[in-house]
Amino acid sequence: MTTTASAHSTERTALADPHPTRVCALDRLTPDLGVAALVDGVQVAVFLLDDGSVHAVQNLCPFSGASVMSRGITGSRADEPTIASPIYKQVFSLLTGACLATMDKEPQPGLEGRLRVYRAWVESGEVWVDISDSH
Amino acid sequence: MTAQEHIVVVGGGMVAHRFVEALRARDGDNRYRVTVLAEEPRAPYDRVALTSYFTGRDPEDLALGEPQLWEDPLVRLERDARVVEIDRENRVVTDVHGVTYVYDHLVMATGSYAWTPPTEGADLPGVFVYRTIDDVAALRIFVEQRRKDLGRPVRGAVIGGGLLGLEAAGALQELGAHSTVIQFVDRLMNLQVDEGGGRALTRLIEQLGVAVKCNTATQAIKPDKTGKVGRLVFADKAEQLADVVVFATGVRPRDELGRESGMMIGERGGIVVDDTCLTDDPHVSAIGEVACIQGACIGLIAPGNTMAEIAVDRLLGGDSTFPGADTSAKLKLLGVDVASFGDAFATTPGALELTYADPVAGVYKKLVVTDDARTLLGGILVGDASAYASLRPLVGAELGGDPAGWLLPEGAIERPNVELPDEAGVCSCNNVTAGSIRSAVTDDGCTDLAGVKACTKAGTSCGSCLPLVKKIVGTELEKSGVELSNALCEHFDMSRSQLFNAIQVSELRTFSEIIERHGSGRGCDICKPTVGSILASLYNEHVLAQDRAALQDTNDRVMANMQKDGTYSVVPRVPGGEILPEHLILIGEIAKEYGLYTKITGGQRIDLFGARLDQLPGIWTRLVDAGMESGHAYGKSLRTVKSCVGSTWCRFGVQDSVGMAIALELRYRGLRSPHKLKLGVSGCARECAEARGKDVGVIATDNGWNVYVGGNGGFTPKHAQLLVEDVDDDMVFKVIDRYLMFYIRTADRLQRTAPWQEEFEGGLDAIREIVVDDSLGICADLDEHMARHVDSYEDEWKAVLNDPERLAQFTSFVNAPEEPDPSLAYVEQRGQRRPATTEERDSGAVLIAPTRLEVHS
């Protein structure tokens, strides 16, 4: 199996990480259908895209306050892979977490209008996430 | 705020409405408050559309503008408050109830009354005029009663062959009466059309079953033995039987208040005003039909609206003046297009007339041009007025190219492409020029037709100018580099209906193949659900099949309705609202066990709120085991078919509405469409199921069913319009099959039936020709498509429960499937739970944690 990590996490290896967590087997993921994972009490939305890359972002949707990002629709804006929130349809970059379309809404009080992006990668047919390595 | 000045408007018609609307829109400093004293017991309504009262519309459908206007604190509407006295010295008016109103400025907008020539027998029961909702309602009641009494269709006669007379003849026809139009002069609509046009018009009207008698003067109306109208006697002593008579012999200004209070009155009536709409009393203006402006009273709405705008402008310190009346008109009478504009009778010296007549098709067109045939002066269009919207604004401008292009049937030779001058009026109802439409695009940043309509009001009244507005907007956008794009999103450069065709023709069935062939990129939350919906409409395969799950929008993706906290609501199907007690009990038991909030929906079923993703399969296992199935409350698909109890129980029902509703719901269940679909069935004309607020409404008649289409609740409510009447069960299914399938194929993304139908070229008439008369020859295909849908239906929840792979999608956490979402929190309210607000979470108010509710994992 080809091991492909997402564009923003190619340089580093799992062994060098302090808190890598195995989330599931790669074959548990369906391309473009996200899943939620609970990593050290943090809800993470994990996506496998059809180019084989895996991405992990916070599952909490900042505009609704509900933990639902894993149930959004993946897509692209130009070349940037995106995820749209299933509640009010804000679009976020899966690479940077930036909100690309706010749909004229403000984030919930106390929440930042973007997603945290966690490092995610595939190794020996398993999907890994490191929540200590995020931006 | 006592410094405010008080304007009193006498009269509550369309022009009064426009005056108030314009005043409130422009008086940003709240300088004035305004009181409207209306004679009729209702708010101003669209008198021009009065006839549509017969074609199934309710009085409230005739309402003008936004009803909120009358809730404005600075606007007061007094209904049933006819003014009987004006004291100009003390600036006080008194209404019929003795209530007095002091004004700073008075606006006379009393309009006209229907004039009847002194005729023997004009006071008999069964003689009507045609002016107000009450006139029309009384006519309707009389005709219906008369038919019952006589036991045969009613014979109607309309005296007057002008615009209003033809309207009235159409109304009589709608009521099932035979009608004859009796015209004093030599042709119909003699004020608008010339001899040739009159001939074409008579032929067209006669083809529709309305008899026409020109050159005929009515001398007397004689009673029958019951004392009601019985026959007409003409000047030449000829007679004609008539059971009902409508006078449509013109209108006269209601200037009696003006006369009594000593205002200056015109030679042929009307309160005389100057070009600023002011009377000889600086505290009194007059607008609309009662105003005698530039020497005449004008019985058209557009000049009336102009006067209202001028009066407002002057009150606010503006300097606008009346530009002269545009007496252009485009009408659809009994389905026949008639338009006349500019110098229609070629009175300009040296004017040339170019005519085109096709007596077989019933078309007559005339253009009046200057002697060099370059400049358009006016014209008459009968039978085909499609060129009206483009031609009318060109009056006074160079036609550019061969004028014959405008006369011959469209496509025969190319119509010259002319750029309208900025000052050319495009929407005469609302006085919108080509220039203001352009500036809505260039200065106000409007990028589509809807934006321009909202910004300029163009096309928001009669809508006849919309094709032209659209064209101007398109041209303007193109110029500024923006294309009036119908692209779905950045990934597909085509509209939904184009994409539907492309997918149908290419027979591709996966998103990756479709985007590779017809689009680019990876797709997004716009195009993915659209493609998912199109595939579901075309093949009726499971929404979660193959790569489909990732295409589905929020709700379809897990076949439940996501709520604000990320949990779901569950709605099992209850066809026609008929439910077994066992099923009711089961729903109650499930709600109790899972702690779900329950609410009855508007579609006669039960909604269970607060189910977590991981609870959905357990809940559905119990529902499916008991024989219930998905209600598709989550889909852009058929939702419910609401019904009243119908003839099986109801004392008044004439057909089995529940049986029909169930048959319809089972037929169309699972049908994916551009937007949600709601149907309703009522068992009698009382319409308890509110079927006309639905996409398709079926209403029982003594002889079968009437089918109405394009109704809508929601943000812009619309009553459904009549598609076919008195049809049997099979025909109900057939026309609805075709209507829905045609809608599914051609509507835009998220476009409901009401706007689709409205924007469809040719409107409902064109749709009826396609789905009833098969004018496009596609009905067999539509029928076959729907038959495939009906045959291939399966309950999508049952299918998922039998498929372990798809069930795996219903887990909370991929690495902790037994752990519910820890972020959910609820509080109790009225004995049930609801999601806690942020404040409640922060304050630590009594919260119900999700784990405590856990019964089934």
User: Do B342 and B410 fall within a single domain?
Assistant: yes
CATH number at residue B368: 3.30.390.30
Q: Which of B490, B492, B524 to mutate to test the interface with A (most CBs of A within 10 A)?
A: B524
**Could you tell me if B431 and B412 lie in one domain?**
no
Distance, in Å, from the CA atom of A36 to the CA atom of A17, rounded to the nearest integer, reads 22
With beta carbons less than 8 A apart as the criterion, state whether B189 and B162 touch: yes
Q: Which residues of A touch B547 (CB under 8 A)?
A: 31-32
Q: At what angle do helices B496-506 and B511-518 cross, to 10 degrees?
A: 110
Q: Are residues B237 and B188 in the same domain?
A: yes
In the predicted structure, residue A14 carries a pLDDT above the cut 60: no
Asked which of B767, B790, B813 is the last residue of a domain, the reply is B790
What is the predicted pLDDT for the residue at B390? 77
Q: Are residues B509 and B526 in the same domain?
A: yes
pLDDT tens per residue, range A53-105: 999 999 999 999 999 999 999 999 988 999 999 999 999 999 999 999 988 88
Residue indicated by tokens 């006589």:
B150
Global confidence as pTM: 0.60
B100 and B201 both lie in a single domain: no
Q: What is the pLDDT of residue B55?
A: 60
Which of B516, B533, B815 has the highest number of chain A CBs within 10 A, making it the mutation to test binding with A? B815
**B126 — pLDDT class (breaks 50, 70, 90):** very high
**Which sign, positive or negative, has the C-alpha torsion B531, B534, B538, B539?**
positive
Phi, psi of B659 (to 5 degrees): -60, -45
Find the domain containing B366 and state its range.
328-418
For residue B269, the Cα-to-chain-centroid distance in whole angstroms is: 36
In Å, how far is A27's CA from the nearest CA of chain B?
12
> In chain A, which residue's Cα lies nearest the Cα of B837?
A65
Residue B120 banded pLDDT, cuts 50, 70, 90: very high
The predicted pLDDT at position A9 comes to: 37
Q: Which of B522, B525, B565 sits opposite A89 (nearest CB)?
A: B525
pLDDT tens across B172-225, in order? 888 889 999 999 999 888 888 888 888 888 888 888 889 999 999 999 999 999
Answer whether A96's CB lies under 8 Å from A9's CB: no
What tens digit of pLDDT does each residue of B391-441 get? 887 888 887 777 777 777 655 555 555 677 787 778 877 778 888 888 888
Q: Tell whether B646 and B710 lie within a shared domain.
A: yes
CB contact under 8 A, A43 and B821: yes
pLDDT at res. B856: 43
Output the 3-class SS for B631-670: CCCCCCEEEEEEECCHHHCCCCCCCCHHHHHHHHHHHHCC
Query: Quick one: which of B304, B295, B307 has its CA closest to B267?
Result: B295
**How many contacts (CB atoms, under 8 Å) link A and B?**
106
CATH number of the domain at B433, please: 1.10.10.1100
CA distance B131 to B115: 10
Using a CB-CB distance cutoff of 8 angstroms, which residues of chain B are in contact with residue A75? 491, 521-525, 528
State percent of chain B over pLDDT 70: 94
Is residue B728 domain-resident?
yes
Interface test with B, best of A23, A26, A32, A48 (most B CBs within 10 A): A32
pLDDT, tens digit, 9 for 90 and up, residues B803-817: 988 898 899 999 999
**Which residues in chain A are contacts of B512 at CB distance < 8 A?**
50
Question: pLDDT for B275-299, tens place per residue?
Answer: 999 999 999 999 999 999 998 898 8
Residue with tokens 């219930």: B628
Contact B34, B14 (CB under 8 A): no
pLDDT in tens, B775-802: 888 999 999 999 999 999 999 999 999 9
Can you read off the two tokens belonging to residue A31?
Answer: 């391309």
Q: Which residues of B fall within a CB distance of 8 Å from A64? A: 564, 566
Do residue A50 and residue B522 have CB atoms under 8 angstroms apart? yes
DSSP sequence for B555-583: HHHHTSEE-TTS-EEE-B--GGG---HHH
For B735-744, the pLDDT digits (tens) are 999 999 999 9
Nearest to A65 among B553, B613, B838 (CB): B838
DSSP state of B63: B
* Alpha-carbon distance B846 to nearest alpha carbon in chain A (angstroms): 19
**Rounded distance, CA B177 to CA B185, Å?**
24
Least confident of B10-14, B544-548, B787-791, B826-830: B544-548
Is B246 in contact with B158 (CB distance < 8 Å)? yes
Could you tell me the pLDDT band of residue B446, with boundaries at 50, 70 and 90?
A: confident
Residues B310 and B435 in one domain: no
Residue B554 Cα, gap to closest chain A Cα (Å):
5
How much is the pLDDT for A6?
40
Q: Are residues B233 and B285 in the same domain?
A: no
Least confident among B175-189, B465-479, B497-511, B837-851: B837-851
Structural domain contains residue B608: no
Q: Give which of A24, A29, A38 to mutate to test B binding, by max B Cβ within 10 Å.
A: A38
Q: What is the pLDDT of residue B82?
A: 95
Q: Answer whether A28 sits within 8 Å of B553, measured CB to CB.
A: no
Distance from CA of A72 to the nearest CA of B (A): 7
> Å from A105 to nearest chain B CA?
14
Cα B381 to its chain centre, rounded Å, is 25
Residue B544 domain-assigned (yes or no): yes
pLDDT in tens, B34-57: 999 999 888 888 887 777 666 655
* C-alpha closest to that of B603 among B526, B489, B679, B532: B679
Give mean pLDDT, residues B613-634. 96
Contact call for residues B667 and B630 (beta carbons, < 8 A): no
Which residues of A are less than 8 Å from B814 in CB distance?
Answer: 23-24, 28, 35-37, 46
Residue B579: inside a domain, yes or no? Answer: no
**Chain A hits for B808, Cβ within 8 Å:** 28
> What integer is the mean pLDDT of B688-710?
96
The CATH number of residue B133's host domain is 3.50.50.60
A40 has pLDDT over 70? yes
Per-residue confidence (pLDDT) for residue B484, from 0 to 100: 60
Residues B784 and B644 in one domain: yes
Mean pLDDT of chain B: 88
B828 pLDDT above the threshold of 80: yes
- What is the distance between the alpha carbons of residues B541 and B525, in angstroms, rounded to a whole number? 21
What total of structural domains would you count in chain B? 6
Q: Cβ neighbours of residue B163 under 8 Å, at least 6 residues apart? A: B189, B191, B192, B329, B331, B333
The pLDDT value given to residue A12: 39
Question: What is the pLDDT confidence band of residue B463, given thresholds at 50, 70 and 90?
Answer: low
Q: In the listed set B418, B439, B474, which residue is the last one of a domain according to the structure?
A: B418
Of chain A, the percentage scoring pLDDT greater than 70 comes to 87
What percent of chain B shows pLDDT beyond 90?
55
Of B332, B266, B264, the C-alpha closest to B297 is: B266
User: Chain A residues with CB inside 8 Å of B524's CB?
Assistant: 73, 75-77, 82, 84, 91
CB < 8 Å to A89, chain B: 525
What pLDDT was estimated at residue B345?
Answer: 85
Asked if B490 lies within 8 A of A38 by C-beta distance, the reply is: no
Torsion over CA: B344, B346, B348, B353 (sign): positive
- Mean of pLDDT values over B720-725: 94
- Indicate whether B853 pLDDT > 60: no
For the domain spanning A7-134, the CATH number is: 2.102.10.10
Contacts of A39 in chain B (CB under 8 A): 815
Q: Give B229's pLDDT tier (boundaries 50, 70, 90).
A: very high
The residues on A that touch B, with CB distances below 8 Å, are 21-24, 28, 30-33, 35-39, 41, 43, 46, 49-50, 60-61, 64-68, 71-78, 81-82, 84, 86-87, 89, 91, 108-109
Give the residue carrying structure tokens 């002593």. Answer: B237
In this structure, what DSSP letter does residue B304 have? H
Task: Mention every residue, 6+ apart, whose C-beta is less than 8 A from residue B777.
Answer: none
Residue B812 lies in a domain: no
**Chain B residues with a Cβ under 8 Å from any Cβ in chain A:** 490-491, 512, 521-525, 528-529, 547, 549-551, 553-554, 557-558, 562, 564-566, 613, 808-809, 811-816, 819, 821-823, 838
Domain boundary among B220, B249, B278: B249
pLDDT of residue B851: 44
Q: Which residues contact B328 (CB under 8 A, 6 or more apart)?
A: B302, B339, B340, B341, B342, B392, B395, B428
